[in-house]
Amino acid sequence: RDSTGDWSSDVCSSDLETCHESRVEALKYFSLCLGTITSPPRTYINYGATFVYLCTRRSGYFIPMMQSLLPIDLVNIRRLTLKLRDWLINDDCVFRDAIWKFTNLKSLLMLISSRDEDEEFRTPVAEHVLMSVLAWQADELNPGFRMPDIKIMVLPGLEVDSDPAEYAPPTTRGERVADHFHEREIQALFSSAV
C-alpha to C-alpha distance for 85 and 132, rounded to whole angstroms:
17
Instruction: Look at 5-19, 43-57, 142-156, 164-178 and tell me which has the smallest mean pLDDT.
Output: 5-19
Cβ–Cβ under 8 Å, residues 57 and 161: yes
pLDDT digits (tens, 9 = 90+) for 170-186: 555 556 666 666 566 66
Cβ–Cβ under 8 Å, residues 88 and 169: no
C-alpha to C-alpha distance for 146 and 99, rounded to whole angstroms:
11
Query: What is the percentage of the chain residues whose pLDDT exceeds 90?
Result: 12
pLDDT digits (tens, 9 = 90+) for 57-107: 766 788 888 888 888 888 888 999 888 888 877 888 888 999 999 999 999
Q: Strands 107-112 and 149-154, how do they pair?
A: parallel
Q: For residue 10, count other CB atoms closer than 10 A to its CB.
A: 15
Stretch 116-132: mean pLDDT: 81
C-alpha to C-alpha distance for 88 and 83, rounded to whole angstroms:
9
Bridge partners (DSSP) of residue 36 are 69
Question: Whose CA is closest to 113, among 181, 193, 173?
Answer: 173
Question: HSE on the CB side for 145, CA within 13 Å?
Answer: 22
Residue 108 pLDDT exceeds 90: yes
Query: What is the percentage of the chain residues whose pLDDT exceeds 70?
Result: 66
